């Protein structure tokens, strides 16, 4: 018998308010990020700002914390034995919400619609996680490490077809307003599951259940207990509020060329210096403007043909920019 299994025979600790607070805190952080994203979408913030740098890291930390808590919750709910009615009911709610988000975003923003976002990940991870529920924590942790590392080794043109985008193994990530594929993100769920097993083996949850989180945390705990509803409601509320604000105080309109350069440079500067990125993005813009390619990109065209052209231009512009800098040419 594994150490964590011996603890499963102890008296259940009941609902742990500290975990609800943690979930509510993650929701608050997500609302902050989504508000920044909405400001960018409405034109009040620099294009591409939330897709790079500190904002990108912030978003990844938020997603990781949610998925970690999914793994913890899966163990707490079913570590003593599967409660199938509750499991299927919760799965149906999450999967239904994920499908609704896909439909709404496909109608509203077809170029960046959410086909496999955080809720899709949670739904599928809840099913896949059952295979790891009875494994020892250390074996689950090894599996998590392998899943997180997989995109570095297993990306292939085979997964470039849209039917396989949910895996996260396509050579280039598809365009989507929320993309949380199985590889590497399922690894965060397994880390949560492994951590919960290890914590249970040391009686950590019994101690955690006894913590008084205080009055200040009640709003966060409430949000954490109703996390799915809060998740579904908060973004429409933020968008509606900004839309009303924009009616009276519209943001300055930027051309697609300006938006492309801002987004391109913000993303590029994660790995290269500002001089390279300025020249590189000018090169990319010059390559995309003829034949209406930039217009197709902004219209949400995700065809394999356009993706291939962009990858070709990216390679050519990288070489040209590096050579130009080495030769001391003007941008």
**275-327 pLDDT tens trace:** 899 999 999 999 998 878 888 888 877 787 888 888 899 999 999 999 888 87
88-128 per-position pLDDT tens digit: 999 999 999 999 999 999 998 888 899 999 999 999 999 99
Q: Cα torsion at 47, 53, 57, 58 (round to 10°)?
A: -60
Average pLDDT estimate for 202-212: 91
pLDDT in tens, 37-90: 999 989 999 888 898 889 999 999 999 999 999 999 999 999 889 999 999 999
Whole-structure pTM value: 0.84
The pLDDT of residue 3 is: 42
Q: Among 209, 195, 211, which Cα is nearest to 13's? A: 209
- Give the pLDDT band of residue 5 (cuts 50, 70, 90): very low
Average pLDDT value for the chain = 91
pLDDT band at residue 9 under the 50/70/90 scheme: very low
Calculate the CA 53 to chain-centre distance. Answer: 15
């Amino acid at each position: 018998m594994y150490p964590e299994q011996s603890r499963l025979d102890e008296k259940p600790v009941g609902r742990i308010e500290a975990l609800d607070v943690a979930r509510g805190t993650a929701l608050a952080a997500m609302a902050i990020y989504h508000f920044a994203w909405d400001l960018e979408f409405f034109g009040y913030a620099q294009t591409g700002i939330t897709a790079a740098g500190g904002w990108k890291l912030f978003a990844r930390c938020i997603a990781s914390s949610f998925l970690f808590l999914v793994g913890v919750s899966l163990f707490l709910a079913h570590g003593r034995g599967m409660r199938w009615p509750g499991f299927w009911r919760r799965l149906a709610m999450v999967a239904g919400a994920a499908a609704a988000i896909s439909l709404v975003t496909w109608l509203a923003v077809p170029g960046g619609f959410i086909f496999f976002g955080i809720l899709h990940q949670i739904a599928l991870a809840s099913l896949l996680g059952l295979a790891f529920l009875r494994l020892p924590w250390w074996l689950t942790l090894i599996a998590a490490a392998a899943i997180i590392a997989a995109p570095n080794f297993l990306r292939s043109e085979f997964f470039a077809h849209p039917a396989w985008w949910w895996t996260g193994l396509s050579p280039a990530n598809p365009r989507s307003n929320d993309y949380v594929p199985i590889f590497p993100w399922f690894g965060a769920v397994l880390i949560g599951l492994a951590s919960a097993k290890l914590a249970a083996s040391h009686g950590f949850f019994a101690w955690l259940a006894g913590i008084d989180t205080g009055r200040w945390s009640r709003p966060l705990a409430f949000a954490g207990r109703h996390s799915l509803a809060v998740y579904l409601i908060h973004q429409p509320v933020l968008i509606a509020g900004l839309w009303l604000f924009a009616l009276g105080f519209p943001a300055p309109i930027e051309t697609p060329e300006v938006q492309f350069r801002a987004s391109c440079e913000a993303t590029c500067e994660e790995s290269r210096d500002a001089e390279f990125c300025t020249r590189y993005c000018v090169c990319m813009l010059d390559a995309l403007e003829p034949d209406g390619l930039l217009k197709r990109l902004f219209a949400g065209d995700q065809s394999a043909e356009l993706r291939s052209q962009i990858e070709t231009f990216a390679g050519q512009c990288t070489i040209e920019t590096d050579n130009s800098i080495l030769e001391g040419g003007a941008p």
